[in-house]
């Protein structure tokens, strides 16, 4: 295993978690909520230091983290101090919760800005990665093959974008693909598969992208926002397809990746080059930011949902002239139940990750 790639993966997890939790930490500081602990990682404590009443710690497993504000373990009837999370107005609680996912987006924007400000890239016709079980693999195409012709259309080495567009538009067609493999020229016939959800055809390979250094700050600003927006919309469409049943749950389970799968994907991308790797890290930040905003107990979105419900109940309280609210201890029970369900889900997905590793299946579909 490549030690540099392993270090890159660990550093990426560290900074993704650090930024998310720092968002919550900063939110606490902005609205004067005391932070009892700021932890990067989960499990056994490896290092800790207490500064001004806040314990800062690093734990064994770099797959999560947490900020523990005063009031997290709420007890009914207790007198709340002015630095307690639940003594704050709803808008202040919203800031504490929302800044976590927001900081994932800030990190994604920063990564894309740096990449697009420094690099431009050209898509080549060289095959960088063949997907396991894909039409390309079945007919014998290999990593390193350079596609020179599809049907009657010839491609130069840097015509990768044109080549991909042609494949995407070739629904249910048998393509005649000519490749250069070393000193040999080979011809393959490949039938495309159609992705109904994303409306394009494919044969199952990723083309090599060659980054070239070209400083352009304005391009960096423009492309970072465009890329963040596009990836957000695509991920939201996937989420909507899952909830509407357009994507069967069986397919979701089979194609999802847990912590093990994500680590393997990051490791593979780290071996592909720093540009591709950092693009992936930016995308993972967007996924984490959006996933955390889902209105599910234990997630930031679940806590924001209860804040909005309590805001509505606050309005009703004024109309009815009596206090109506979801008590914090009742809310925490739901969040703990949600956490248990999420952990069970992670275990199921991780089990599938292990099976795919054993079978040698690709995590990239």
pLDDT tier, 127 (very low <50, low <70, confident <90, very high otherwise): very high
Count up the domains in the chain and report the number: 1
Asked, for residue 184, whether it belongs to a domain, the answer is: yes
Query: In this predicted structure, what is the pLDDT of residue 364?
Result: 66
Q: What is the mean pLDDT of residues 32-48?
A: 94
Query: In this predicted structure, what is the pLDDT of residue 93?
Result: 96
Asked, for residue 171, whether it belongs to a domain, the answer is: yes
Query: In this predicted structure, what is the pLDDT of residue 113?
Result: 97
What CATH number is given to the structural domain containing 171? Answer: 2.30.42.10
Q: What is the mean pLDDT of residues 252-260?
A: 82
Q: Decide if pLDDT at 1 tops 80.
A: no
Asked, for residue 331, whether it belongs to a domain, the answer is: no
Cα distance between residue 346 and residue 260, in whole Å: 10
Whole-number percent of the chain with pLDDT over 70: 98
**Is residue 317 within 8 Å of residue 323, measured between CB atoms?**
yes
pLDDT tier, 57 (very low <50, low <70, confident <90, very high otherwise): very high
Query: In this predicted structure, what is the pLDDT of residue 209?
Result: 83
What value does the mean pLDDT of the chain take? 90
pLDDT tier, 24 (very low <50, low <70, confident <90, very high otherwise): very high
**Is residue 201 within 8 Å of residue 192, measured between CB atoms?**
yes
pLDDT in tens, 298-317: 999 999 999 999 999 988 88
Q: What is the mean pLDDT of residues 318-326?
A: 85
**Is residue 127 within 8 Å of residue 208, measured between CB atoms?**
yes
Cα distance between residue 328 and residue 85, in whole Å: 10
pLDDT in tens, 186-225: 999 999 999 877 788 999 999 988 877 888 999 999 999 9
**Is residue 179 within 8 Å of residue 186, measured between CB atoms?**
yes
Site of tokens 């990239």: 364
Q: Decide if pLDDT at 74 tops 80.
A: no
**Is residue 135 within 8 Å of residue 173, measured between CB atoms?**
no
Query: In this predicted structure, what is the pLDDT of residue 233?
Result: 93
What is the full DSSP assignment across 141-159? --TT-EEEEETTEE--TT-
Asked, for residue 101, whether it belongs to a domain, the answer is: no
Q: What is the mean pLDDT of residues 326-344?
A: 91
Asked, for residue 17, whether it belongs to a domain, the answer is: no
Identify the domain containing residue 154 by its residue range.
Answer: 135-203
Q: Which of 197, 178, 186 is nearest to 235 (CA)?
A: 197
In a 10 Å sphere around its CB, with 0-12 CB exposed, 13-18 middle and 19+ buried, how is residue 6 labelled? middle
**Is residue 190 within 8 Å of residue 175, measured between CB atoms?**
yes
The more confidently predicted of residues 85 and 273 is 85
pLDDT tier, 61 (very low <50, low <70, confident <90, very high otherwise): confident
Please, which residues have CB within 8 angstroms of residue 310's CB and are 6 or more apart in sequence? 90, 325, 326
What pTM value is reported for the model?
0.78
Asked, for residue 167, whether it belongs to a domain, the answer is: yes
Q: Provide the 10 A C-beta neighbour count for residue 75.
A: 9
pLDDT in tens, 129-181: 898 889 999 999 999 999 999 999 999 999 999 999 999 999 989 999 999 99
Q: What is the mean pLDDT of residues 323-343?
A: 90
The more confidently predicted of residues 249 and 123 is 123
Query: In this predicted structure, what is the pLDDT of residue 320?
Result: 85
pLDDT tier, 365 (very low <50, low <70, confident <90, very high otherwise): low
Q: Decide if pLDDT at 346 tops 60.
A: yes
Q: Which of 254, 270, 288 is nearest to 23 (CA)?
A: 288
Cα distance between residue 162 and residue 235, in whole Å: 25
The HSE-up count of residue 4 (CA atoms within 13 Å, CB side) is 7
Task: Tell me the C-alpha to C-alpha distance, in Å, between residue 21 and each of 96, 102, 225, 280.
Answer: 10, 10, 23, 20
Asked, for residue 344, whether it belongs to a domain, the answer is: no
Asked, for residue 150, whether it belongs to a domain, the answer is: yes
Q: What are phi and psi of 37, to 5 degrees?
A: -150, 140
Cα distance between residue 361 and residue 335, in whole Å: 35
Query: In this predicted structure, what is the pLDDT of residue 269?
Result: 86
Q: What is the mean pLDDT of residues 348-359?
A: 88
pLDDT tier, 295 (very low <50, low <70, confident <90, very high otherwise): very high
């Amino acid at each position: 295993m490549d030690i540099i790639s392993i270090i890159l993966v660990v550093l990426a997890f560290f900074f993704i978690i650090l930024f998310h939790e720092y968002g919550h930490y900063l939110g606490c500081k902005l609205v004067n909520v005391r932070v009892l602990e700021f932890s990067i990682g989960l499990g056994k404590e490896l290092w800790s230091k207490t500064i001004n009443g806040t314990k800062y710690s690093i734990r064994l497993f770099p797959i999560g983290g947490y900020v523990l504000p005063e009031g997290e373990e709420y007890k009914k009837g207790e007198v709340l101090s002015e630095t307690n999370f639940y003594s704050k107005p709803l808008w202040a609680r919203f800031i504490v919760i929302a800044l976590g996912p927001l900081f994932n987006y800030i990190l994604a924007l920063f990564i894309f800005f740096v990449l697009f400000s420094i690099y431009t890239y050209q898509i080549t016709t060289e095959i960088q990665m063949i997907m396991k079980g894909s039409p390309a693999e079945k007919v014998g195409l290999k990593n390193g093959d350079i596609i020179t012709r599809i049907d009657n259309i010839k491609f130069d080495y840097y015509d990768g974008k044109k080549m991909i567009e042609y494949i995407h538009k070739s629904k249910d067609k048998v393509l005649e693909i000519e490749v250069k493999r070393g000193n040999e020229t080979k011809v393959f016939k490949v039938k495309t598969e159609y992705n109904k959800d994303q409306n394009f055809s494919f044969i199952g390979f990723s083309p090599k992208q060659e980054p070239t250094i070209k400083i352009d700050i304005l391009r960096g600003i423009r492309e970072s926002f465009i890329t963040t927006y596009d990836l957000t919309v695509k991920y939201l469409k996937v989420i909507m397809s899952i909830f509407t049943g357009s994507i069967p749950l069986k397919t979701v389970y089979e194609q999802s990746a847990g912590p093990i799968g994500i680590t393997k994907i990051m490791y593979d991308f780290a071996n592909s080059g720093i540009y591709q790797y950092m693009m992936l890290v930016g995308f993972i930040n967007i996924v984490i930011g959006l996933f955390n905003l889902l209105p599910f107990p234990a997630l930031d979105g679940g806590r924001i949902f209860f804040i909005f419900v309590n805001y509505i109940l606050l309005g009703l309280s004024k109309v009815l002239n009596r206090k109506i609210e979801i008590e914090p201890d009742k809310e925490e029970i739901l969040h703990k139940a949600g956490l248990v369900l999420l952990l069970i889900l992670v275990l199921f997905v991780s089990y599938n990750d292990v099976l795919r590793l054993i079978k040698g299946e690709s995590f990239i579909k």
